[in-house]
Amino acid sequence: MNSSTAPNPSADHLAAVAGLYHAYQTGLMLTVALKRGREDAADWTRALFRRQHHAKFRSSFDKLGLTGMPDAQAAAAYHYLANQVGGVDVEYVAESDKKAWVRFPPPRWIYPGASICGIPREVSRAMLEGWYAENGLSLNNPRLGFVCTSQTTDGQHGLAGYFLEHGRDLSADERLCFRPGEMPPRFDPAKAPTLPANEWPAERLAKANRNYAMEYVRTGLPLLTELFGPSDGGYLGRHAGRLIGAQGYRAMAEGFGLTPSEGGAEGFAHLLQAMAAAEGDSAEISQDADGAWLVRRPFWRLGRGMDQPHPAVFEAWHGLIEGLLASHDRFVVLTLTRRLDQGDDAILWRVRNGAEP
């Protein structure tokens, strides 16, 4: 049979993949907290957000139209606009050139549904240490810090606080402080910054939303192996991936427009193809002489930019695929025959229908 390639992904396809990776990120947080403990979960989260910060913060200023704003306002506006691009509900209030608030009201994007009950407060604090405490340094303004006044994980009205430019340089332990109880002013969307509409059409926003969710996983999986070693890190990522893949299969399949009648090996081959396209890659499907379906994916977007990742990183990600298959059809046999991270020219899966009892 001739090979075929999936068409360009629709907004529904992009949203389906974004939802899967969003859940995977939260699942990784919960898995590390459960299997390794609160402090290890905080260490991983802190490293994740710090690495994300250094990769994304300054490079996004021009894209978001923030160049030239006072530093406190620019830092708050960054979180307001960048999180909006990712589909996150957030508020912004500038009190002055030197003080600007952000607030993430419930439900928190990163802790969807009941998952927030399993997030240790150390993890929430580590997120602020990894990103918010770094803003002043990245803006070359040692007087700029962040004051956290509320945390959702503490049972308060959301994550809230303000960027404040002090009258002196701050020490490392002063760049983030906690003053619970201070209330942010009421949010007025009309007074908040906006994205340049002509530069952010719906298609770009849909892709940015997908990238936002995938980027957390792209950064987080290598950190698991760096902090906890390839064996433990790979296990944590693969275990979470299997659970999230199985739980998220139905929503993703529906987002792709696939129906339960499209089960079996052929249906899963089409799902892998649609998933690759929605992630920004491509995949071709064909059949071999024995009737098994072959899915050839020559790129792995999630691994782009990784510096010689340990094989455990790919294996952790592949847990998602294994979880999706477990829900799709437990009698289908999936064999991974080639891997890009091992120097092959593509990821190649062989998918066939197995014997049923």
Average pLDDT of span 39-49? 98
Please report the pLDDT score of residue 2 as a whole number: 47
Q: What pLDDT is stored for residue 249 in this prediction?
A: 96
Mean pLDDT over each residue of the chain, to the nearest integer: 94
Q: Please, how many CA atoms are within 13 Å of residue 174, restricted to the half-sphere of its CB? A: 11
What pLDDT is stored for residue 314 in this prediction?
A: 96
> Cβ neighbours of residue 153 under 8 Å, at least 6 residues apart?
111, 116, 119, 120, 121, 123, 124
- Spell out the domain ranges in the chain: 11-203
Percent of the chain whose predicted confidence (pLDDT) is above 90: 85
Does position 332 have pLDDT exceeding 80, yes or no?
yes
With 50 as the cut, is the pLDDT of residue 1 above it? no
Query: Is pLDDT of 179 > 90?
Result: yes
Q: What is the pTM of this model?
A: 0.94
Residues 129 and 176: beta-carbon distance below 8 Å? yes
Domain 11-203 indexed as CATH 3.30.1380: yes
DSSP string, 259-291: -GGG-HHHHHHHHHHHHHHHTT---EEEE-TTS
Non-local (6+) Cβ contacts of 343 within 8 A are none
Residue 212 has pLDDT above 50, yes or no: yes
